[in-house]
Amino acid sequence: MRDHTSWGATEAECHLSYPCDQHISQPYDSHHRAIDVAAPVPLAFRWLCQLKVSAYTYGRQGRSPRTLTPGVERLAVGQRFLAFDLVEFEENRHLTGVTYPAARRRYGQIAITYQVEPRGENASRYVVRLNSARRKGVGRPLGDLLATGDGFMMRKQLQTLKALAERDAAGAQMQEGDG
């Protein structure tokens, strides 16, 4: 991890605009996470939809489903995922949310986009931008600490979703080879 603001993301990815940029009104700091996934976009996106049922990170591993939950891919604005309410989405492209009121009181105003980028027919890339409102005064160190902690948590989350998507993609390829 280069620093607490970026893990795995390229400079170009850090300079792009994302849907979450339109959903935060205060000055903010951006944090980026990215990882390549050896799975096609629809499967990788389907695993992102699982964030509606579990965080897929430390402490939640044993309770996080290891198979796709039926119906979770049916998205609607206002649905909750993690500490966010879904405010925008595009199937097979992105989930974008803002902190719901109780989470906003605890963590501040945050907008996030989980995006899937194509990398050929059977490969993709998760790219996440998290925009957090800048904290002032004594709250600034707490904001930096939360961003650093989030970096480790989201890294685990993306690695877990990657592993599950790749497992399912490999299983589908084996079934195609048997047929």
| 178 in any annotated domain | no
Tens digit of pLDDT for each residue in 102-126? 988 888 899 999 999 999 999 999 9
Confirm whether 162 is domain-assigned.
yes
Whether 113 maps to a domain, the answer reads: yes
Say if 75 falls within a structural domain. yes
Residues in CB range of 16: below 8 A, 6 or more apart: none
Instruction: Report the predicted TM-score, pTM, of the whole model to 2 decimal places.
Output: 0.90
Q: Which of 34-38, 132-136, 174-178 has the lowest mean pLDDT?
A: 174-178
User: What residue numbers bound the domain in which 147 lies?
Assistant: 6-170
CATH number of the domain at 132, please.
3.30.530.20
134 lies in some domain: yes
pLDDT for 6-64, tens place per residue?
899 999 999 999 999 999 988 998 999 999 999 999 999 999 999 999 999 876 556 89
**Phi and psi, residue 94, nearest 5°:** -155, 155
Our count of domains for the chain comes to: 1
Residue 176 counted as domain residue: no
Asked whether residue 145 carries a pLDDT value surpassing 90, the answer given is no
Q: How many other C-beta atoms are found inside a 10 Å radius of the C-beta of residue 174?
A: 10
Of 9-13, 141-145, 146-150, give the range with the top mean pLDDT: 9-13
Is 179 within the bounds of a domain? Answer: no
88 vs 172 pLDDT, higher one: 88
Rounded to whole angstroms, what are the CA distances from 14 to 25, 88, 131? 19, 20, 12
Cα–Cα distance, 73 to 88 (Å, whole number): 14
Report how far Cα 17 is from the mean position of its chain's Cα atoms.
16
